């Protein structure tokens, strides 16, 4: 059974229709998104690209339930999330979306295990189950022997792997990665992208927001935004079989 996703719907994992997002800045109204529509299917690997001001960060925030549209609809696994209250959105963020950020967003005074189990604490999961899930997630990213280390004792690549383990710990519907290699050197960044590739091969739905062509090249579909609109939406035809490295090799860094 494919990994990733708690929903039972047979339609797309997410569906966005005619989404508009405006902000008031002083006396001006700025339109960040101007009517965006897209579907993402279960187990798709999608890259969202665009220059500064294109709307890609706004779209990411809406997909991640960090923000809501001014108008339009957003459905995640059959649930209309665009009109949810903040406490409902927080539950979606905690249980259905696994976030991976450029800056890792780890708690510096907590060890690796504590960072990974944190979403489960918020969700009220029992201590025994938290340990099982956190250990499983850390083993999956090759850090089962680093559970008691603090973030400052890890390399940048290892810290991003902790962030990926934390994103996986709830078996999310979507992994949403924002510039996941932005703070890493090229070799380590390649390792992280290869790991995301492996997760996709195991059935995980992945959306990567990036301005780097080399990062987008890992995806099977690339959506480009410009001026708040989708400029292009292309399937790359990339072969997963040709792109999959051995996970052990990816974990060598």
Task: Report pLDDT digits (tens) over 157-203.
Answer: 999 999 999 999 999 999 999 999 988 999 999 999 999 999 999 99
> Does pLDDT of 240 surpass 80?
no
Q: Which is it for strands 174-178 and 79-80: parallel, antiparallel or unpaired?
A: unpaired
Q: What is the three-class DSSP state of 218?
A: coil
Q: How far apart are CA 198 and CA 83, in angstroms?
A: 34
pLDDT of residue 34: 96
- Alpha-carbon distance of 40 to 154, in angstroms, equals 34
The string of pLDDT tens digits covering residues 91-136 is 999 889 999 998 899 999 999 999 999 999 988 999 999 999 999 9
Q: What is the pLDDT of residue 71?
A: 95
Where do the structural domains in the chain lie, given as residue ranges?
Answer: 44-56+89-250
| Residue located via tokens 């529509």 | 37
The pTM assigned to this predicted structure is: 0.86
44-56+89-250 homologous superfamily = P-loop containing nucleotide triphosphate hydrolases (3.40.50.300)
Tokens 């005619």 belong to residue:
18
Beta bridge partners of 20: 34, 71
Structure confidence at residue 238 (pLDDT): 61
């Amino acid at each position: 059974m494919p990994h990733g996703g708690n929903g039972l719907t047979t339609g797309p994992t997410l569906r966005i229709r005619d989404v508009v997002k405006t902000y008031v800045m002083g006396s001006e109204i700025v339109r960040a998104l101007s009517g965006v529509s897209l579907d993402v299917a279960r187990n798709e690997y999608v890259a969202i690209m665009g220059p500064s001001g294109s709307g890609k960060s706004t779209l990411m925030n809406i997909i991640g339930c960090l923000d809501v549209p001014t108008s339009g609809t957003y459905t995640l696994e059959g649930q209309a999330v665009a009109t949810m209250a903040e406490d409902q959105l927080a539950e979606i963020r905690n249980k259905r979306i696994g976030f991976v950020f450029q800056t890792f967003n780890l708690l510096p005074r907590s060890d690796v295990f504590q960072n990974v189990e944190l979403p489960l604490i918020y969700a009220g999961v029992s201590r025994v189950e938290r340990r099982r899930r956190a250990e499983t997630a850390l083993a999956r990213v090759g850090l089962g022997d680093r559970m008691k280390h603090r973030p400052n004792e890890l390399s940048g690549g290892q810290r991003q792997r902790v962030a990926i383990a934390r994103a996986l710990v709830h078996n999310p519907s979507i992994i949403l990665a924002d510039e996941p290699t932005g703070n890493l050197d090229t070799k380590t960044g390649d390792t992280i992208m290869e790991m995301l590739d492996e997760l996709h091969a195991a059935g995980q739905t992945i959306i990567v927001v990036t301005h780097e062509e080399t990062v987008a090249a890992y995806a099977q579909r690339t959506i480009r935004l410009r001026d708040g609109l989708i400029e292009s939406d292309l399937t790359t035809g990339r072969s997963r079989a040709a792109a999959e490295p051995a996970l052990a090799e990816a974990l060598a860094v």
